Amino acid sequence: MLVIPVIDIKNGESVRMVQGLEDKTVYYSESPLTMARLFRKENAKVIHITDLDGAVSGKRKNYELIKEITESVGVPIQLGGGIRTYEIAEQLIKELGVYRIVIGTSAIDNIDLIKRLIDDFGKSKIVIGVDVRNGFLVKDGWGNQTGINAIEFALGMKMLGIERIIYQDVERVGGLKGPDIEGTKHIAIETGLKITAAGGISGYTDLKKVQELERYGVDSIMMSRALYENKFPCQAIWRMQEKIDTSLDLPKVK
């Protein structure tokens, strides 16, 4: 089970959105770049970045910061948040050099965009975010509820050629309430897609529950708050060492 640390960026800072609600935003003191280097030191194989400003406005106000991260950590970067045009997707893949992009709202509103991205960049570069509330998709930074069934939507994306989705119940995001195990299992079985689970992980016990879904195609999980708040025993050892060596200077991986 691949663990993917998440860095949510809002106004250039590391944050954690709780249930996607603006008034429940939790700000962390560490800069996004520092957090990326920290996760890299803790042997992260992939890092996910969500551009929350981009998710809401569609604008790339955090572009330079994200570029600095991609050039500094030496591991693949998965990026989501407000990728709504072909031009933006092309810039992120070709110029910014992200490993793959996550499309959410645009996959709902613009199927032709998804087709074109797959044709031009390949299936491995495109992941679809399936963000749900009560079994139905939400979009526009989780602000708008749709009447679209999550499984039907995922199957539609599969017909276009998509091979992987990120599934999360937004009611659980940032709350350490535990992941949506049944929902994740159900969409994995019904679609046969590769699944990255997200939302609600509170610690080791939850991680083990998700690991039990590997046989259904759930091969990775994204986590943020549990990592930021040191919910795993091994982190105490890592973070103690990081206090000793505070430079966080990392060699680039060739």
Token reading at 108: 């709902």
Name which of 188, 199, 244, 189 is nearest 50 in CA terms.
199
State the residue for tokens 């965009």. Answer: 113
Alpha-carbon Rg for the chain, nearest whole angstrom, is 17
Determine the Cα–Cα distance for residues 138 and 80; give it in Å rounded to an integer.
15
| Annotated active-site residue in 8, 51, 53, 140 | 8
Q: Kindly list the distances between the CA atom of residue 90 and the CA atoms of 83, 125, 141, 250, in Å, as whole numbers in the listed order.
A: 10, 11, 21, 28
131 is catalytic: yes
Query: Chain centroid to CA 160: how far?
Result: 21
Fill in the amino acid letter for 75. V
| Annotated active-site residue in 51, 53, 120, 131 | 131
Token reading at 240: 């103690």
What does DSSP assign to residue 99?
A: S
8 is catalytic: yes
Query: Chain centroid to CA 137: how far?
Result: 16
Token reading at 222: 């994204």
Catalytic residue IDs? 8, 131
